[in-house]
Amino acid sequence: MTDAAIAIPNLLYLYAELIDAADFAAAARLFRHGGIVAGDQRIEGKDAIAAMWRGWMRVHADGTLRTRHLITNPIIQLADDGESAACRSQWTVLQAAEGFPLQAVATGRYHDRFRRIDGIWCFVERDYAQVDLTGDLSAHLLKTLKDA
């Protein structure tokens, strides 16, 4: 798909869908042409990225995170050459786990960079830029945000 206005939001939403399903391998493949910045670290390679998520997120008995990652307000800035783009978006994580009511557990922002490679838009970098608000993350994360 060559239309950035459709392809880039679709990548944002596909990432959320795969993470909610705890399909870390498929989500990591979205970053095969780049990496993820988490704090002062840049993680590259699908195996390293998937391992990072497995080390962060609690997978429940049903094989999912029992979450819905909602990605909103994408602001896409297409480069003059039409071959790369930057995007800022916001995320909200809802969760309903055993013993926990449906609730918003965290909100924040992503800063992403994309490039069209062989005619297809791809992630080249996701910066977990900012966590804005947090609730009870004990049923979602295996470690605190400071340790993640």
Note whether residue 146 is domain-resident: no
- For the chain, the first-to-last Cα distance in angstroms comes to 34
Q: For residue 141, is it within any domain?
A: no
Residue range of the domain that includes 19:
4-134
Is 91 contained in some domain?
Answer: yes
In a domain, 147, yes or no: no
pLDDT tens-place values along the chain, 148 residues long: 469 999 999 999 999 999 999 999 999 999 999 999 998 899 999 999 999 999 999 999 999 999 999 999 999 999 999 999 999 999 999 999 999 999 999 999 999 999 999 999 999 999 997 999 999 999 999 987 766 5
**Domains held by the chain: number:** 1
Residue 144 lies in a domain: no
Q: Confirm whether 104 is domain-assigned.
A: yes
Q: How far apart are CA 98 and CA 95, in angstroms?
A: 10
Write the CA distances from 123 to 25, 36, 67, integer angstroms.
15, 9, 23
CA distances to 90, 145, 148 from 136, in Å: 19, 12, 15
